[in-house]
Structure 1
Amino acid sequence: MQNSLDLPRRPEDTRVVVAMSGGVDSSVVAALMKQQGYDVVGVTLQLYDHGAAVSRAKSCCAGQDIHDARRAAEKIGIPHYVLDYESRFKEAVMDRFADSYIAGETPIPCVSCNQTVKFQDLLKTAKDLGADILATGHYVRSAASGNKRVMFRPTDLDRDQSYFLFATTQEQLDFLRFPLGGMPKSKVRELAHDFGLSIADKPDSQDICFVPNGDYASVIRKLRPNAAEPGDIVHVDGRVLGRHNGIIHYTIGQRRGIGIATGDPIYVVRLDADAKRVVVGPREALATRKIFLREVNWIGDTPLDEGTELDLFAKVRSTRPPAPAILRVQDGVTSVELVTGEDGVAPGQACVFFESDTEEARVYGGGWIARAERHGSWKLDEKTTLAASA
């Protein structure tokens, strides 16, 4: 007989460690597990210096959030621990974030955090605490399939977090549970009120937790003081249009704040970190049909072997729906052809694989975008700027 977590034992004999961020979602997960009779332990991670510089209502894991998690655990009636992961978080997430920006990429630190601190380090800590599973408040679903678990998009697609969990390995997925994946956010807030949790109406986290006021550049300068080196702003046709104060101030696809007036709309189409150049051009220069991936994580049923060619659906931005794509493995390189194309694909972002574009589609994993191949006549010339062929 299986319990509600698909484990063959009574709830009271099943230890569940809940990752509690101090928000509504993870607090409701802890309360649900306790209500269902499980042996529940709450764990909150202190991830960074939670002083005035970064303690804000819409960030996660700041000082107030730790306080809120502790209060929720007390209300639920479960033991609660705060673990100091600051040095690990800085090494695995913040430093990687800074180095990626300096390299001309657009990183996603929330994926790195899930990939390392939460689903490696915290998962190991949960096992050290005798846990049978680690439960989180992420909006994805998982279900048993034979002797393993598979991941799906959640019922509430407005809250879909599968894009940020693409790096979850099969071993991690088998140990994780996502109790909120089958319900809408409105129901979660309703449950928070029913459980008498003081954070029932707390706003959702919207910003990267260690980036005050969304100012990425100031954080990067603090972590890497020599990061903001000036250079040229170059048009795709080779013209030097002006100067910039560091490529860390720009992202692929950016239109506003470039600081150049040409009479026609221009976009950032490439960041040349080696030459310290920001390459700009018309919107059509952003069109991308093919991307190349690194650090691919595959949680499909059959392995990705040399010569694989697979029709699936892919997301290259968290806010876009999955779109038709062809996944190929050739000469040890994994590439994805975006059948309908995409604008502004940036190295450092993620490409996430899905079985279909339907609600609650299965998630097959994904990879980090190493480079994008522009579509049509826009190609790289020998000077590493973009030029339109005649």
Structure 2
Amino acid sequence: MTATKEKVLLAMSGGVDSSVAAALLLEQGYDVTGVFLCIGNDSDTQSGGCCSPQDASDANRVAHALGIPLHTLNVAEHFLPIIDYFAAEYLAGRTPNPCVLCNSSVKFGKLFHHADVIGARYVATGHYARVIHTAGGGAILRGKAVKKDQSYALFGVPRERLPRMLLPIGEVEDKTLVRGMAMELGLNVHDKPDSQEICFVPDDDYPTLLATRAPDALRAGDIVDSSGKVLGRHEGYARYTVGQRRGLRVAAGEPMYVTKIDPATATVTIGPRPEVLRSGLTASRVVWQQDVEPSFDATVQIRYNHGGAPGRVVLNTNQSFHVQFDEPQAAITPGQAAVVYDGDRLLGGGWID
């Protein structure tokens, strides 16, 4: 689609993906304004996470090089509920995915308000996913760079937002091509490493955050097998997730995996691989971006790096569904998202109970 100077507000992190997204939007004829999201104080000098001085500097340099304005928007207050959710999920023995909430409430939530203020029709990001606009609204599709696809983390975006979303990076087939584009454009971020951590957890040190916000989640307890036999001790059940194999520090003679976490007793249950397999799941707090039947076949992805598995989806209510997989799946983890696809098209998803 060729646009005629329609205004776009683009979230710019100072990374290579959002930087190239800006260049692609300009090439497509859009009037681009960048916005750098800050979740810390103006004086925050942390080296990791969002709003680091280096990221801010990189975003400014890219905006200057491309000739676009760049705003800085402090969204710290909008992150407080996300951080509260993060701590509460660990306290409940679940494994949270805060990126989903950030995308729905901040990047494709708060930014729409800012877009309206500056008169921008669209909001864009550097996600590896695609969006199509149709007469009936819109749809999110998997990104063409299959190994980098980030559509899973976009299931929570309300369907009414889809017609105003742009995801230019989703059309690029490989991350190396994105870096190549940045190099050709002379952008200093062409070789900048990808961020691997949760933006409000510097150095991925989430136990330190939990120590102040949910200290009971770091309560020591027993590691047991499925019969209840004590195999060892742990130093906080929040340090474990269902499906985890490494770091159990238990000698069992065969590979063992976390199969269950009981926050009431601070007990972590482990077992051999067959015990971590499940044939189905129930998900709640559902968001449907597309209309679906009460029962239908689909592909369901149960974590970010899961390729998706075929199964039957049955709606219990509009806010809950059950999935019966064709084959048992490993590490169906409470707190993670179950995202439903029809081919490449994202239909919706919910949170695994």
TM over 0.5: yes
CA–CA distance in 1 between the matches of 2:143 and 2:328? 25
Structure 2 residue aligned with 1:314, among 300, 324, 327?
Answer: 300
Q: Aligned runs of 1:4-19 on 2, under 5 Å?
A: 4=2, 10-11=4-5, 14-19=6-11
Q: Aligned runs of 1:280-295 on 2, under 5 Å?
A: 280-295=270-285
Structure whose CA Rg is larger: 1
CA–CA distance in 1 between the matches of 2:139 and 2:317? 28
**SS at structure 2 position matched to 1:264:** coil
Alignment-derived partner of residue 316 in structure 2: 330
Alignment-derived partner of residue 339 in structure 2: 352
CA–CA distance in 2 between the matches of 1:173 and 1:212? 31
Determine whether 1:157 maps to 2:146.
Answer: yes
Does the 8 Å CA contact 2:91/2:216 hold for their aligned counterparts?
Answer: no
Note the C-alpha offset of 1:61. Answer: 4.1
CA–CA distance in 1 between the matches of 2:248 and 2:179? 41
Does the 8 Å CA contact 1:22/1:60 hold for their aligned counterparts?
Answer: no
Which consecutive segments of 4 or more residues in structure 1 shift more than 4 A? 49-52
Structure 2: state its 5+ residue gaps: none
Go from structure 1 to structure 2 and tell me whether the alpha carbon gap of 1:182 and 1:47 turns closer, same or farther (over 3 Å shift). Answer: same
CA–CA distance in 1 between the matches of 2:29 and 2:314? 46
For 1:17, the aligned partner's letter is L
**SS at structure 1 position matched to 2:347:** strand
**SS at structure 2 position matched to 1:25:** helix
Structure 2 residue aligned with 1:362, among 324, 345, 351?
Answer: 345
Alignment-derived partner of residue 124 in structure 1: 113
CA–CA distance in 1 between the matches of 2:257 and 2:271? 5
Note the C-alpha offset of 1:258. Answer: 1.9
User: Number of residue pairs matched?
Assistant: 350
**SS at structure 2 position matched to 1:227:** helix
Does the 8 Å CA contact 2:95/2:335 hold for their aligned counterparts?
Answer: yes
CA–CA distance in 1 between the matches of 2:263 and 2:169? 41
CA–CA distance in 1 between the matches of 2:228 and 2:189? 55
Does the 8 Å CA contact 1:92/1:113 hold for their aligned counterparts?
Answer: no
Does the 8 Å CA contact 2:292/2:347 hold for their aligned counterparts?
Answer: no
TM-score by length of 1: 0.84
Alignment-derived partner of residue 32 in structure 1: 24
Note the C-alpha offset of 1:45. Answer: 0.5
For residues 175-221 of structure 1, give each alpha carbon's deviation from its aligned partner in whole angstroms, at most 9, with x where no partner exists: 11011111132222222123221112211222222333333222221
CA–CA distance in 1 between the matches of 2:246 and 2:184? 45
Go from structure 1 to structure 2 and tell me whether the alpha carbon gap of 1:175 and 1:346 turns closer, same or farther (over 3 Å shift). Answer: same
Note the C-alpha offset of 1:97. Answer: 1.0
CA–CA distance in 2 between the matches of 1:149 and 1:107? 28
Does the 8 Å CA contact 2:225/2:271 hold for their aligned counterparts?
Answer: yes
Go from structure 1 to structure 2 and tell me whether the alpha carbon gap of 1:233 and 1:326 turns closer, same or farther (over 3 Å shift). Answer: same
Structure 2 residue aligned with 1:195, among 174, 179, 185?
Answer: 185
Structure 1 residue aligned with 2:58, among 59, 68, 87?
Answer: 68
For residues 147-186 of structure 1, give each alpha carbon's deviation from its aligned partner in whole angstroms, at most 9, with x where no partner exists: 3111111111121111111112211111110111111322
Alignment-derived partner of residue 219 in structure 1: 209
For 1:121, the aligned partner's letter is K
Note the C-alpha offset of 1:19. Answer: 0.6
CA–CA distance in 2 between the matches of 1:71 and 1:98? 35
CA–CA distance in 1 between the matches of 2:264 and 2:236? 12
Note the C-alpha offset of 1:235. Answer: 1.5
Structure 1 residue aligned with 2:38, among 27, 43, 46?
Answer: 46
CA–CA distance in 1 between the matches of 2:317 and 2:110? 34
CA–CA distance in 1 between the matches of 2:299 and 2:321? 15
Determine whether 1:147 maps to 2:170.
Answer: no
CA–CA distance in 1 between the matches of 2:2 and 2:176? 22
Structure 1: state its 5+ residue gaps: 371-390
Go from structure 1 to structure 2 and tell me whether the alpha carbon gap of 1:25 and 1:239 turns closer, same or farther (over 3 Å shift). Answer: same
**SS at structure 2 position matched to 1:181:** helix
For 1:324, the aligned partner's letter is P
TM-score by length of 2: 0.93
Alignment-derived partner of residue 242 in structure 1: 232
Structure 1 residue aligned with 2:124, among 119, 135, 138?
Answer: 135
Alignment-derived partner of residue 75 in structure 2: 85
Alignment-derived partner of residue 93 in structure 2: 104
Does the 8 Å CA contact 1:92/1:112 hold for their aligned counterparts?
Answer: no
For 2:158, the aligned partner's letter is T
Determine whether 1:343 maps to 2:316.
Answer: no
Note the C-alpha offset of 1:51. Answer: 4.4
For residues 89-110 of structure 1, give each alpha carbon's deviation from its aligned partner in whole angstroms, at most 9, with x where no partner exists: 1x23222111111111111111
